[in-house]
A = this chain, B = another copy of it.
Amino acid sequence: MTNNTAYAQLMAFQRQTEALGLVAERLGWDQETMMPRGAAEQRGEEMAAMEGVLHARRTDPRIEDWLEAADPVDAEARAQLRAIRRSFVRATKVPSDLAQEIARVTSTAQGIWAEARARERVDEFLPTLQEVVDLRRQEAACLAQGGDLYDALIDDYEPGATADSLGAMFGRMRPRLVALREAVLGAPVPKAVKGHFGEAAQLRLARDLASTFSYDWSRGRLDLAVHPFSSGSAYDSRITTRVVESEPFNCIYSTIHEVGHSSYELNVDADYKLTPIGRGVSMGVHESQSRIYENQIGRGRGFTGFLYSEMQQRFDDFGIGSAEEFYRAVNRVQPGFIRTEADEVHYNLHIMMRFDLERALVRGDLAVDDLEAAWNDRFLADFGVAVDRPAHGLLQDVHWSVGLFGYFPTYTLGNVYAGCLYQALTAAVPDLEDRLSRGDTTEAVEWLRENLQRHGGLRTPRETVAAACGFEPSEGPLLDYLERKFRGLYGL
């Protein structure tokens, strides 16, 4: 076996693994969009069986031989081998039975969470959550090998990040965010949009906005989901949204957000597709794409001007008299209960709270039975409002039900990266706001594709952002942007 043969064999093997991973992901999409309710348990078995297959492939002993024999000829090959080694080392630490049990339990747990949320019954969710926490802690113990359990889980979503480094960054961000929040909440509240926005018209607008952001419909589609998400990669990456007929921004910005995620997957270079570096490099970098589409671009003065005229053409009077008033309505700052509906000033405070709570859960410092009280206490302290019902509190997010501990902090990391990328983007495209005011996102989207998205997993997450920006990422640009935007908006 020559070195080249080993590399070719390894890559052929990995290609099938990637394809099977996409199959499992498609099942997840189906579960949230199409699957009949009565299929939930069966789907759990199907997901567990797929996880068994994937785990067996990821731990296939031939991988070790191939890795040893392969001699990478260029940076791409080195990146492929790095990604494969990382996956192999991780997978071999977790027993197959445990991996399958996690897949089975989290698949059905999602339905139990959704039911409990609809019924506002925390007690009906906690036994399942306990099971999920126990399983993920077991998995973390396998992965950490004596190290920190929470770090081991974070590493799944953001290679290279640790609880300490994230916690330190959050600590630096917090005072400026709290100061901004207090200043803004002292000012008069802008007008909100008010009216009825029919589902069909909202979905038409959502489709048109996805097209505005160059979403490739030949490789995607849009459906409704309780909790919007994007799913898939390469030649098939689908988005979802939700519709509230009194509140159009929910659907609009969920859609733009998911278009950011999906575009990242669809825009990876063709050569990398269905290879280990063919996906978005990390959850944090992924979130930077959804966030910059949604916030820095989508909620900016330029783009909201375009959106205002679109909405005027499509909906009856919604009580807003000018583009400037609309810009303020889109960016109203209010201490709401729901993370996914939070404004840019509050959003990261929601994350910091979840970060602290889940770190304590995973480390064993907080019991599942005490979680709701801890949530409610912390929410009151941070937001000055008492949680009024479970769907506005502990039951609002799907993440913990499906075992996503260590995932929440990547949302704020994504915001931080988006802040850096936006600084670089505005330097590269000086007439950006002008273009966006005409609904022309092509330069922005193209800059992100060329400088970041197309590279997939070629570099580490941090290097990926640094290479696109031309500087080392930090929280500074995001905080500067937020203060500039919201002090301007509120005349502070």
> A-side interface residues toward B, CB under 8 Å?
15-16, 19-20, 22-23, 26-27, 30, 34-39, 41-43, 45-46, 48-50, 52-53, 216-221, 234-236, 238, 274
Closest residue to A39 on the B side, CB-wise? B236
Interface pair A220/B36, CB less than 8 Å apart: yes
Interface pair B236/A43, CB less than 8 Å apart: yes
A23 contact from B36, B41, B50, B218, Cβ within 8 A: B50
Contacts of A22 in B (CB 8 A): 42, 46
Interface pair B42/A236, CB less than 8 Å apart: yes
Contacts of A19 in B (CB 8 A): 42, 45-46, 48-49
Interface pair A38/B274, CB less than 8 Å apart: no
Contacts of A219 in B (CB 8 A): 36, 38-39
Known: A16-B49, A23-B49, A39-B235. 7 other contacts (CB 8 A): A16-B48, A19-B42, A20-B50, A26-B46, A34-B34, A36-B218, A36-B221
Number of copies: 2
Contacts of A48 in B (CB 8 A): 16, 19
Contacts of A43 in B (CB 8 A): 236
In the bound complex, CA of A476 to CA of B218 (Å)? 51
Contacts of A46 in B (CB 8 A): 19-20, 22-23, 26
A274 contact from B20, B30, B42, B218, Cβ within 8 A: B42
Interface pair B218/A38, CB less than 8 Å apart: yes
In the bound complex, CA of A36 to CA of B421 (Å)? 31
Distance in Å: Cβ of A118 to nearest Cβ of chain B: 16
**Interface-central residue, A27, A39, A216, A221, by most chain B CB under 10 Å:** A39
Q: Show 27 residue pairs from A and B whose CB-CB distance is below 8 angstroms, ordered by the A residue.
A: A16-B49, A16-B52, A19-B48, A20-B46, A20-B49, A20-B50, A20-B53, A23-B27, A23-B46, A26-B27, A26-B30, A34-B34, A34-B221, A35-B236, A36-B218, A36-B221, A36-B236, A36-B238, A37-B218, A38-B219, A38-B235, A38-B236, A39-B236, A42-B235, A42-B274, A43-B236, A45-B274
Interface residues of A: mostly helix, strand, loop or mixed? helix
Distance in Å: Cβ of A270 to nearest Cβ of chain B: 12
Interface pair A234/B53, CB less than 8 Å apart: no
Contacts of A45 in B (CB 8 A): 15-16, 19, 274
Closest residue to A53 on the B side, CB-wise? B53
Contacts of A38 in B (CB 8 A): 216, 218-219, 235-236
A19-B49, A50-B23, A53-B53 known; A42+B218 contact, CB < 8 A: no
Distance in Å: Cβ of A186 to nearest Cβ of chain B: 49
Contacts of A23 in B (CB 8 A): 23, 27, 46, 49-50
Contacts of A35 in B (CB 8 A): 236
CB-based closest 9 A-B pairs = A39-B236, A38-B218, A38-B219, A19-B49, A42-B235, A16-B49, A19-B46, A39-B235, A19-B45
Contacts of A221 in B (CB 8 A): 34, 36
Closest residue to A52 on the B side, CB-wise? B16
Distance in Å: Cβ of A438 to nearest Cβ of chain B: 28
**Interface-central residue, A22, A23, A53, A274, by most chain B CB under 10 Å:** A23
Contacts of A26 in B (CB 8 A): 27, 30, 46
**Interface-central residue, A20, A35, A46, by most chain B CB under 10 Å:** A46
In the bound complex, CA of A238 to CA of B36 (Å)? 9
In the bound complex, CA of A45 to CA of B274 (Å)? 10
Distance in Å: Cβ of A211 to nearest Cβ of chain B: 14
In the bound complex, CA of A45 to CA of B18 (Å)? 10
Closest residue to A236 on the B side, CB-wise? B39
In the bound complex, CA of A56 to CA of B26 (Å)? 22
Contacts of A53 in B (CB 8 A): 20, 53
In the bound complex, CA of A224 to CA of B48 (Å)? 30
In the bound complex, CA of A37 to CA of B52 (Å)? 30
Contacts of A37 in B (CB 8 A): 218
Closest residue to A233 on the B side, CB-wise? B42
In the bound complex, CA of A275 to CA of B78 (Å)? 44
In the bound complex, CA of A236 to CA of B23 (Å)? 17
Distance in Å: Cβ of A417 to nearest Cβ of chain B: 28
Contacts of A30 in B (CB 8 A): 26, 30
Contacts of A238 in B (CB 8 A): 36
Interface pair B36/A217, CB less than 8 Å apart: yes
